[in-house]
Amino acid sequence: MILLLPIDQLMTPLSRKQVRESIHRLLAAMKLPVTSWQDGGAAKAIISVVAAIFAGFTEVIALAIRANFLDTAEGIWLTLLAYYVYGVTRIEATFASGEVQLVNAGGGIFEFEPGEFVCKHSVTGKQYTNVAFFRLEAGQTLTVAVRALEAGSRSSAMPGQITVLVTTMRGVTCTNPAPVVGRDGETDPELRERCRDSLGALSPNGPEAAYVYWAKSARKSDGSPVNVNRVWVSKRSSVGHVTVYVASPNGAVPGTIGDDSTDLGAVDKAIRTKVVPVGVTCTVASAVPRPLPVACEVWISTEANLSNTQVVAAVDTRISDYLKVVPIGGHVLGPRSPGRVFRNAIIGQVEDVSPFIIKADVSVPSADETLTESEVPVASINDIGVRQV
């Protein structure tokens, strides 16, 4: 007789208590005096050790079983499943890279080997170091390539934000003329979505999923992944034309069509060579950033033991993280409904920051924010008030 267990039981590990109770039942069925054994005795000690080992073994078994299914695999197991089953490689976090401009108004001469020079973001405090040797002469202005010490988008910087010198250089000032951008590693939900999109890429007829998959999976000419996490594809056309808008977590996707060393150029090349069928034309463009400032009053219990500054920072981060994943064109409820960023969704995000938040009163936006099909919401300067009660 073959006993078939429900799949949810196979994917649920046993606790030490459950294993210990199961052993006791088996021994009792063998007529052994389990109930008369004293706590701390050799028999119960051995059973506890066996239960601990077997409970750990069931955790491994449950992980291995969950790893066989796209919806339940997690972490490294999902990475392996995506690669060996779907042929999709997880996108890892990148270090923010760019250039800073050093102006030496003093008389000193400075030389630094790679990794010796350090500067930092004036607001976040994230640090950056030089990637190559440089020599800064007296009175010289020099552009230096730098890379963040910490991977991910948190180390990104807008122009003019990297202005603090950690390395002592008397008479020298620092700034970044252009953005310094890094991206976060692909999350499990994002990787699952891209695995499903990859199935659409198997079709030679260019379904929507194929455009989405290759837009997110494109790589620049140097092999680095593009920073694209949202894609909008036009639904129908009577003249064989497809429009594809792409967005990054920060909003726009930088670059130039025809230059595959840039994000936008690499996306366009991937779509044209991998997706677009014969007889169809495709236009790839960056989504248009739509700044969405939020003004709200937050009531929070003093039991949270958080300062006003900490609450404001947490709310700002939550709003920013939420806007990074809102679809291009906003959420659409029906075929004839415009896309929106829902005010109630913003309220929910703020109130979910801490279980000690009693309520959030959002005054801006005062209603749902309507977006065009090419727009993507981006974080702006928020006005967050805090009331400790």
Condensed to tens digits (0 to 9), the pLDDT of residues 238-273 reads: 788 999 999 999 999 999 999 999 999 999 999 999
Look at residue 3 in the predicted model and tell me its pLDDT: 54
Q: Based on the number of CB atoms within 10 Å of its own CB, is 356 exposed (0-12), middle (13-18) or buried (19 or more)?
A: middle
Look at residue 335 in the predicted model and tell me its pLDDT: 80
Q: Which residues of the chain have pLDDT under 50?
A: 1
Look at residue 53 in the predicted model and tell me its pLDDT: 92
Q: What percent of the chain is helix, strand and coil (3-state, nearest 5)?
A: 30, 25, 40
Instruction: Please give the angle made by the CA atoms of 195, 200 and 202, to the nearest 5 degrees.
Output: 100
Look at residue 45 in the predicted model and tell me its pLDDT: 87
Look at residue 8 in the predicted model and tell me its pLDDT: 80
Strand partners, 104: 172
Look at residue 206 in the predicted model and tell me its pLDDT: 58
Cα torsion at 80, 83, 86, 87 (round to 10°)? -170
Look at residue 33 in the predicted model and tell me its pLDDT: 84
